[in-house]
């Protein structure tokens, strides 16, 4: 009886050891499949030509305070996992900041520092890179929301922007990387255009300007009249 139970125990231990071994192999294989960033699978996203912003009635000077990643993506630099992976050379937040600053500087709408800015912009990035597409092509998407704040009045307005792009699929790795890069660049350009030329920004700037003009007038009205 005791012999039988010890045999049982030995069999159970062997079975568990086997299962643990299998699990370990699967884990190590999975970690081996995990793509690693290398120079040959890393792409650099550039906006290209700066996006000309719309004309404002009172052109303000902007300052980009923060760009915060709200995508919830644990690997924001990994654009594509398949085919050995495609990585970005910079954080998406850095790319978006660079693109915004480049376009604002080109239009002379960028303040020299935060103190001299008329409007301070805080960007919340929701999506950067590829999104689920048909499988026949690449669907690039850049989506963010901004809080445009007037530091003098402490009033703020929300402005949303999104950019999309569809690029054709590819079989060869080299073409695949090129198409993904072009797709994300087009989506970024589209998002910048949507933000800088959007009616939401125009309305926000106009509203913040009106509030700023009304604020000193109110202040003057509350002052006691000089005798």
**Nearer Cβ to another protein (63/195):** 195
Shortest Å, Cβ 199 to another protein = 5
**Nearer Cβ to another protein (166/215):** 166
Long-range contacts (CB closer than 8 Å, 24 or more residues apart) made by 26-30: none
Q: What one-character-per-residue DSSP string does 36-100 give?
A: ---GGGEE-----SPPPPPPPSS---EEEEEEEE-S--S-TTEEE-STT-EEESS-HHHHHHHHH
The whole-angstrom separation of Cα 153 and Cα 73 is 35
116 and 83 Cβ atoms separated by less than 8 Å: no
Shortest Å, Cβ 150 to another protein = 21
Report how far apart the first and last C-alpha atoms of the chain are (Å, whole number): 112
**Nearer Cβ to another protein (69/137):** 137
**Nearer Cβ to another protein (87/204):** 204
Report the interhelical angle of 92-106 vs 173-196 (nearest 10°).
50
Q: Where along the sequence are the contacts to another protein (CB under 8 A)? A: 54, 131-137, 139, 141, 162-166, 190, 193-194, 197-200, 202
**Nearer Cβ to another protein (89/203):** 203
Using alpha carbons, select from 149, 49, 178, 59 the residue that is nearest to residue 108: 59
Shortest Å, Cβ 185 to another protein = 15
64 and 96 Cβ atoms separated by less than 8 Å: no
**Nearer Cβ to another protein (136/226):** 136
Shortest Å, Cβ 135 to another protein = 7
Shortest Å, Cβ 72 to another protein = 15
Shortest Å, Cβ 190 to another protein = 6
């Amino acid at each position: 009886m005791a012999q039988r139970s010890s045999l049982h125990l030995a069999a159970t231990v062997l079975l568990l050891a086997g299962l643990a071994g299998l699990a370990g192999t699967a884990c190590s294989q999975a970690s081996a499949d995990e793509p690693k960033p290398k120079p040959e699978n890393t792409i650099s996203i550039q906006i290209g030509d700066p996006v000309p912003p719309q004309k404002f009635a009172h052109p303000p000077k902007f300052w980009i305070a923060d760009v915060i990643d709200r995508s919830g993506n644990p690997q924001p630099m990994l654009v594509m996992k398949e085919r050995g992976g495609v990585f970005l050379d910079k954080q998406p937040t850095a790319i978006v900041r660079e693109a915004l600053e480049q376009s604002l500087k080109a239009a002379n709408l960028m303040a020299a520092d935060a103190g001299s800015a008329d409007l301070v912009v805080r960007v919340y990035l929701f999506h950067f890179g590829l999104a689920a597409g048909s499988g026949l092509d690449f669907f690039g998407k850049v989506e963010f929301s901004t809080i445009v704040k007037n530091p003098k009045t402490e009033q703020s307005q929300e402005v949303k922007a999104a950019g999309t792009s569809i690029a054709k699929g590819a079989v060869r790795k080299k073409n695949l990387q090129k198409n993904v890069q072009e797709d994300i660049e087009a989506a970024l350009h589209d998002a910048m255009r949507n933000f800088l030329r959007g009616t939401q920004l125009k309305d926000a700037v106009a509203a913040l300007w009106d509030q700023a003009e009304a604020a000193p007038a109110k202040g003057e009205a509350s002052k006691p009249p000089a005798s």
